[in-house]
């Protein structure tokens, strides 16, 4: 079989199965079984698939994924994350769209202590959207900032999907985690600026309302009691990695232990909520590892069939400059984000993209950060963006799907601008990893 036919079978077949609604892990399991029979020698190939799949999930570098997820699960199930909202709200004075600004700032803090975009969006949406709607906020102003900052969770460590991207692509996990910090913080600042300016121009979107004004120590107490100790988890994880004191896996273990220790210190950890956190961690981690189970074997079969080398050779023979090829990759990722989930984006594209990145000598961390921004965009793109569905599920009944779709448009545009900015000025993504390396 020619490499063109192999490429159509492997890449086309997996894409069709995903569009038909088959769960991602099963899509690649089916394609792997077909590929093993055709390209790896039948029964011998099936044995090789089993061995490769087992070795792929026995990889020590994947250990941070459940640990990062556990950090977020403990914070949400113990209720400590709610304390952050109170601490942030007391600090922010009356500004246009104050509650929306509070949501963005609180979401940024959650991004530094939680590895789950869905959990961040669901919690902020469930708590703050009803409050904003009751105070006269337009549904688009109530929901948009929360979905946008929930997606930024992917860029700011700890992030389980960042670890997964680094593991599947071979990019340094620690540099990739740190590389997303500056773009993530810039996006948060851009969201706050947009909210303030937009409400200033149209005050009916977010009517000003009376809020409890705290003075003296009452205003600052939650900051020192909850916000700073919880943010210190982020500092512990990042500093231990960048100082060379610990590997990403060890840093994740330190962060998880520190999170549980804080929950115990606040007397917020009970056997029941610890069990809920562990069950949630097991469910999400199991899903991700099952997907990896198929992804690694898929890449191996694609390479063995000659499809990977054939596609790479076809693209490189066109004589296009490396930047044009990287730009085309980003366009493909943004397009895929409209239809498929983030893990599917990785598994469909990485077997082709990474050999090209290596062949052209493109900085893998720069490419990885842009890949993360594209995946973050995919969470927000109608009609299938995962955070759009999450928001509709937790928002009050008066918030329609049309409101949710309209709410996310300006934040998608800002994320696209950030992608273009990182593409044009790579130092935005590379400066911090180099400075801390």
pLDDT digits (tens, 9 = 90+) for 82-103: 787 778 877 777 788 888 998 8
Least confident of 64-73, 112-121, 268-277: 112-121
Q: Give the pair of three-digit tokens for residue 118.
A: 């869905």
Cα 407 from Cα 144, distance rounded (Å): 5
Residue carrying the six token digits 């205003």:
219
Q: Is the pTM for the entire model greater than 0.85?
A: no
Among the listed residues 150, 148, 155, the one whose alpha carbon sits nearest the alpha carbon of residue 198: 148
**Gap between the Cα atoms of 276 and 7, Å rounded:** 43
Domain boundaries, the chain: 3-436
Half-sphere exposure for 182 (CA within 13 Å, toward CB): 21
Question: How far does the chain reach from its first CA to its final CA, in angstroms?
Answer: 46
Residue 67: name the closest of 279, 342, 289, 285 by CA: 285
- Residues near 392 by Cβ (< 8 Å), separated by ≥ 6? 399, 401, 404
The pLDDT-based confidence of 411 (bands split at 50, 70, 90) is very high
**In which band, very low, low, confident or very high, does the pLDDT at 415 lie, cut at 50, 70 and 90?**
very high
| pLDDT of the residue at 285 | 78
pLDDT (tens digit, 9 = 90+) per residue, 373-393? 999 898 888 876 778 878 888
């Amino acid at each position: 079989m020619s490499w063109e036919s192999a490429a159509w079978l492997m890449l086309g077949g997996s894409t069709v199965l995903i569009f038909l609604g088959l769960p991602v892990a099963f899509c690649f399991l089916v394609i792997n079984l077909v590929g093993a029979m055709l390209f790896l020698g039948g029964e011998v190939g099936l044995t090789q698939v089993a061995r490769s799949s087992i070795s792929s999930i026995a990889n020590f570098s994947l250990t941070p994924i459940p640990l990062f997820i556990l950090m977020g699960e403990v914070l949400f199930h113990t209720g400590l994350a709610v304390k952050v909202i109170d601490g942030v709200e007391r600090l922010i004075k009356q500004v246009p769209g104050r509650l929306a600004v509070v949501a963005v700032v609180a979401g940024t803090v959650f991004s530094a202590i939680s590895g789950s975009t869905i959990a961040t969006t669901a919690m902020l949406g469930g708590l703050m959207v009803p409050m904003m709607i009751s105070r006269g906020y337009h549904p688009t102003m109530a929901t948009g900032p929360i979905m946008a900052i929930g997606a930024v969770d992917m860029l700011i460590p700890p992030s389980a999907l960042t670890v997964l991207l680094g593991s599947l692509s071979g990019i340094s996990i620690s540099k990739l985690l740190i590389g997303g910090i500056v773009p993530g913080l810039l996006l948060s600042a851009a969201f706050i600026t947009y909210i303030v300016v937009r409400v200033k121009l149209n005050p009916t979107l977010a009517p000003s309302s009376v809020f409890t004004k705290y003075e003296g120590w009452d205003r600052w107490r939650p900051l020192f009691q909850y916000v700073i100790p919880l943010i210190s988890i982020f500092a512990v994880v990042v500093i231990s990695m960048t100082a060379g004191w610990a590997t990403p896996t060890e840093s994740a273990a330190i962060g998880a232990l520190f999170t549980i220790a804080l929950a115990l210190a606040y007397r917020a950890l009970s056997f029941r909520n610890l069990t809920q956190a562990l069950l949630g961690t097991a469910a999400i981690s199991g899903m991700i590892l099952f997907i990896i189970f198929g992804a690694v074997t898929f890449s191996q079969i694609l390479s063995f069939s000659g499809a990977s080398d054939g596609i790479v050779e076809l693209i490189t023979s066109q004589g296009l400059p490396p930047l044009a090829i990287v730009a085309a990759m980003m366009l493909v990722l943004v397009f895929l984000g409209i239809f498929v989930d983030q893990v599917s984006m990785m598994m469909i594209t990485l077997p082709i993209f990474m050999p090209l990145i290596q062949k052209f000598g493109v900085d893998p961390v720069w490419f990885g950060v842009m890949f993360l921004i594209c995946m973050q965009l995919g969470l927000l793109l109608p009609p299938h963006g995962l955070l759009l569905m999450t928001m509709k599920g937790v928002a009050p009944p008066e918030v329609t799907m049309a409101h949710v779709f309209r709410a996310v448009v300006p934040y998608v545009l800002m994320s696209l601008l950030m992608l273009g900015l990182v593409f044009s000025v790579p130092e935005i993504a590379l400066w911090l990893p180099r400075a801390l390396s």
